[in-house]
Chains A and B, each alone.
Chain A
Protein backbone atom coordinates (compact mmCIF):
# COMPACT_ATOMS: atom_id res chain seq x y z
CA UNK A 1 0.00 0.00 0.00
CA UNK A 2 0.88 3.63 -0.03
CA UNK A 3 3.48 4.71 2.47
CA UNK A 4 5.04 7.96 3.61
CA UNK A 5 8.25 8.00 5.63
CA UNK A 6 10.06 10.76 7.44
CA UNK A 7 12.65 11.02 10.17
CA UNK A 8 11.26 11.44 13.67
CA UNK A 9 13.38 14.17 15.17
CA UNK A 10 15.36 17.25 14.16
CA UNK A 11 17.17 19.70 16.40
CA UNK A 12 18.40 23.07 15.10
CA UNK A 13 19.80 26.27 16.50
CA UNK A 14 17.66 29.38 16.36
CA UNK A 15 18.40 31.36 13.19
CA UNK A 16 19.66 28.32 11.25
CA UNK A 17 17.75 26.64 8.44
CA UNK A 18 15.79 23.46 9.08
CA UNK A 19 15.33 20.80 6.45
CA UNK A 20 12.76 18.08 6.97
CA UNK A 21 12.74 15.21 4.49
CA UNK A 22 10.05 12.81 3.40
CA UNK A 23 9.75 9.93 0.95
CA UNK A 24 6.52 8.56 -0.47
CA UNK A 25 5.50 5.61 -2.61
CA UNK A 26 2.41 6.71 -4.55
CA UNK A 27 3.51 8.09 -7.90
CA UNK A 28 -0.02 9.20 -8.84
CA UNK A 29 -0.31 11.86 -6.13
CA UNK A 30 -1.75 15.16 -7.29
CA UNK A 31 -0.66 17.16 -4.28
CA UNK A 32 1.82 16.66 -1.49
CA UNK A 33 1.42 18.48 1.77
CA UNK A 34 3.18 19.66 4.86
CA UNK A 35 1.08 19.98 7.99
CA UNK A 36 2.17 21.49 11.29
CA UNK A 37 0.99 20.37 14.70
CA UNK A 38 1.62 22.52 17.74
CA UNK A 39 1.39 21.00 21.24
CA UNK A 40 -2.13 20.02 22.24
CA UNK A 41 -3.62 21.07 18.92
CA UNK A 42 -4.82 19.55 15.70
CA UNK A 43 -2.94 19.68 12.44
CA UNK A 44 -2.97 22.74 10.24
CA UNK A 45 -1.93 22.94 6.62
CA UNK A 46 1.43 24.66 6.37
CA UNK A 47 2.02 24.45 2.65
CA UNK A 48 1.53 22.14 -0.30
CA UNK A 49 2.98 21.51 -3.73
CA UNK A 50 1.31 20.41 -6.92
CA UNK A 51 2.87 17.30 -8.36
CA UNK A 52 3.97 18.97 -11.59
CA UNK A 53 6.11 21.49 -9.71
CA UNK A 54 9.70 21.08 -8.56
CA UNK A 55 9.77 23.87 -6.05
CA UNK A 56 7.46 26.19 -4.20
CA UNK A 57 8.50 29.12 -2.06
CA UNK A 58 6.28 30.75 0.52
CA UNK A 59 8.04 33.35 2.68
CA UNK A 60 10.43 31.37 4.92
CA UNK A 61 9.26 28.04 3.58
CA UNK A 62 10.68 26.24 0.55
CA UNK A 63 9.26 22.94 -0.64
CA UNK A 64 11.29 20.81 -3.02
CA UNK A 65 9.81 17.87 -4.89
CA UNK A 66 11.85 15.22 -6.68
CA UNK A 67 9.27 13.04 -8.43
CA UNK A 68 11.84 10.65 -9.83
CA UNK A 69 13.09 9.76 -6.34
CA UNK A 70 9.65 10.35 -4.69
CA UNK A 71 11.32 12.71 -2.26
CA UNK A 72 9.80 15.80 -0.69
CA UNK A 73 11.54 18.27 1.57
CA UNK A 74 10.55 21.31 3.61
CA UNK A 75 13.11 23.98 4.33
CA UNK A 76 12.42 26.59 6.98
CA UNK A 77 14.76 29.56 6.76
CA UNK A 78 15.79 31.51 9.86
CA UNK A 79 14.16 28.99 12.18
CA UNK A 80 12.55 30.52 15.27
CA UNK A 81 11.47 29.01 18.58
CA UNK A 82 7.88 29.42 17.42
CA UNK A 83 8.63 26.90 14.68
CA UNK A 84 9.04 24.15 17.28
CA UNK A 85 6.31 21.65 16.44
CA UNK A 86 5.69 18.33 14.74
CA UNK A 87 5.73 18.49 10.94
CA UNK A 88 3.83 15.90 8.94
CA UNK A 89 4.39 15.07 5.33
CA UNK A 90 1.21 13.83 3.61
CA UNK A 91 0.38 12.29 0.28
CA UNK A 92 -3.05 12.47 -1.34
CA UNK A 93 -4.59 9.01 -1.43
CA UNK A 94 -7.82 9.56 -3.33
CA UNK A 95 -11.27 10.63 -1.99
CA UNK A 96 -9.39 13.51 -0.42
CA UNK A 97 -7.83 10.94 1.92
CA UNK A 98 -4.37 11.82 3.08
CA UNK A 99 -1.65 9.34 3.97
CA UNK A 100 0.55 10.83 6.66
CA UNK A 101 4.10 10.15 7.68
CA UNK A 102 4.98 9.58 11.33
CA UNK A 103 5.84 13.23 11.83
CA UNK A 104 9.15 14.99 12.47
CA UNK A 105 9.47 16.73 15.80
CA UNK A 106 11.44 19.95 15.28
CA UNK A 107 13.18 21.31 18.37
CA UNK A 108 14.66 24.80 18.11
CA UNK A 109 17.24 25.77 20.72
CA UNK A 110 18.99 29.09 21.40
Chain B
Protein backbone atom coordinates (compact mmCIF):
# COMPACT_ATOMS: atom_id res chain seq x y z
CA UNK B 1 0.00 0.00 0.00
CA UNK B 2 1.15 3.52 -0.69
CA UNK B 3 2.12 5.68 2.23
CA UNK B 4 4.46 5.64 5.16
CA UNK B 5 4.65 2.61 7.40
CA UNK B 6 6.42 2.01 10.67
CA UNK B 7 7.36 -1.24 12.34
CA UNK B 8 7.03 -2.54 14.90
CA UNK B 9 3.96 -0.68 16.13
CA UNK B 10 4.61 -1.84 19.69
CA UNK B 11 7.85 -2.93 21.29
CA UNK B 12 8.87 -3.76 24.85
CA UNK B 13 12.55 -4.10 25.56
CA UNK B 14 14.98 -3.98 28.45
CA UNK B 15 17.53 -1.40 29.44
CA UNK B 16 20.78 -1.82 27.52
CA UNK B 17 19.36 -3.68 24.54
CA UNK B 18 19.61 -2.46 20.98
CA UNK B 19 16.35 -1.64 19.25
CA UNK B 20 15.70 -0.64 15.65
CA UNK B 21 12.53 1.05 14.53
CA UNK B 22 11.82 0.82 10.83
CA UNK B 23 10.26 3.41 8.55
CA UNK B 24 9.35 2.92 4.91
CA UNK B 25 7.70 5.36 2.50
CA UNK B 26 6.47 4.73 -1.01
CA UNK B 27 6.28 8.31 -2.30
CA UNK B 28 10.02 8.76 -2.95
CA UNK B 29 9.95 11.85 -0.77
CA UNK B 30 13.39 13.35 -0.31
CA UNK B 31 13.01 14.35 3.32
CA UNK B 32 12.42 11.97 6.18
CA UNK B 33 12.21 12.65 9.89
CA UNK B 34 12.07 10.93 13.24
CA UNK B 35 10.17 12.57 16.08
CA UNK B 36 9.43 11.37 19.57
CA UNK B 37 6.22 12.27 21.37
CA UNK B 38 6.17 12.65 25.13
CA UNK B 39 3.47 14.05 27.37
CA UNK B 40 3.98 17.75 27.91
CA UNK B 41 6.72 17.99 25.27
CA UNK B 42 4.77 17.47 22.10
CA UNK B 43 6.89 16.21 19.23
CA UNK B 44 10.64 16.68 19.34
CA UNK B 45 12.84 16.08 16.34
CA UNK B 46 15.47 13.38 16.79
CA UNK B 47 17.08 13.15 13.34
CA UNK B 48 16.21 14.10 9.81
CA UNK B 49 17.47 13.31 6.36
CA UNK B 50 17.35 15.46 3.25
CA UNK B 51 18.27 12.62 0.86
CA UNK B 52 19.87 9.21 0.78
CA UNK B 53 23.18 9.22 2.68
CA UNK B 54 22.49 12.68 4.13
CA UNK B 55 21.38 12.83 7.75
CA UNK B 56 21.51 15.46 10.43
CA UNK B 57 20.76 15.84 14.11
CA UNK B 58 17.59 17.35 15.42
CA UNK B 59 16.76 18.63 18.88
CA UNK B 60 17.23 15.38 20.86
CA UNK B 61 19.68 13.07 19.01
CA UNK B 62 21.64 11.62 21.95
CA UNK B 63 21.34 7.83 22.21
CA UNK B 64 20.01 7.40 18.68
CA UNK B 65 21.58 6.46 15.36
CA UNK B 66 20.04 6.71 11.90
CA UNK B 67 20.99 5.67 8.41
CA UNK B 68 19.52 6.28 4.97
CA UNK B 69 21.07 4.00 2.39
CA UNK B 70 17.87 4.04 0.30
CA UNK B 71 15.49 6.90 -0.27
CA UNK B 72 12.49 4.93 0.94
CA UNK B 73 13.89 3.65 4.24
CA UNK B 74 14.97 5.54 7.34
CA UNK B 75 15.61 3.23 10.31
CA UNK B 76 16.15 4.58 13.81
CA UNK B 77 18.39 2.60 16.17
CA UNK B 78 18.65 2.89 19.91
CA UNK B 79 22.08 1.41 20.51
CA UNK B 80 21.62 0.84 24.26
CA UNK B 81 18.06 1.58 25.30
CA UNK B 82 17.37 3.56 28.46
CA UNK B 83 14.12 4.08 30.35
CA UNK B 84 14.08 7.73 29.29
CA UNK B 85 13.68 6.52 25.71
CA UNK B 86 10.27 5.08 26.50
CA UNK B 87 8.13 7.08 24.10
CA UNK B 88 6.03 7.04 20.97
CA UNK B 89 8.18 7.46 17.88
CA UNK B 90 6.86 8.95 14.67
CA UNK B 91 8.45 8.83 11.28
CA UNK B 92 7.46 11.42 8.70
CA UNK B 93 8.33 12.37 5.15
CA UNK B 94 7.95 15.37 2.91
CA UNK B 95 8.97 16.64 -0.49
CA UNK B 96 10.90 19.90 -0.89
CA UNK B 97 9.23 22.41 -3.11
CA UNK B 98 5.80 21.01 -2.41
CA UNK B 99 3.24 23.74 -1.93
CA UNK B 100 2.96 23.73 1.79
CA UNK B 101 5.86 21.68 3.12
CA UNK B 102 3.36 19.28 4.65
CA UNK B 103 4.77 16.37 6.63
CA UNK B 104 3.16 12.96 6.21
CA UNK B 105 3.30 10.85 9.34
CA UNK B 106 3.35 7.17 10.03
CA UNK B 107 1.08 5.71 12.71
CA UNK B 108 3.82 5.61 15.32
CA UNK B 109 5.86 3.02 17.18
CA UNK B 110 5.23 2.77 20.90
CA UNK B 111 8.42 1.74 22.69
CA UNK B 112 8.60 0.74 26.33
CA UNK B 113 12.01 0.27 27.95
CA UNK B 114 11.89 -1.67 31.22
Contacts and interface: CB of A to CB of B under 8 A. Distances in A.
Interface residues of B, number: 27
Q: Which of B41, B48, B56, B105 has its CB near the most chain A CB atoms (within 10 A)?
A: B105
Interface of B: 31, 33, 35, 40-45, 48, 50, 56, 58-59, 90, 92, 94-96, 100-103, 105-108
Closest 8 CB pairs of A and B: A42-B105, A102-B42, A100-B43, A96-B94, A100-B42, A43-B105, A96-B31, A45-B102
A57 interface: no
B108 A42 contact: yes
Nearest to B40: A102
Interface of A: 1, 4, 8, 30-31, 33, 40-45, 48, 88, 92, 95-103
B107 A41 contact: yes
Contacts of A4: 42
Contacts of A96: 31, 94-96, 101, 103
A88 B90 contact: no
A97 B90 contact: no
B8 to A, nearest CB: 15
Contacts of A95: 31, 48, 50, 56, 96
17 contacts: A8-B40, A42-B92, A43-B103, A43-B105, A45-B102, A48-B100, A48-B102, A88-B43, A92-B101, A96-B94, A96-B101, A96-B103, A97-B58, A98-B101, A99-B45, A103-B42, A103-B43
A98 B110 CA distance: 21
Contacts of B40: 8, 102
A43 B91 CA distance: 10
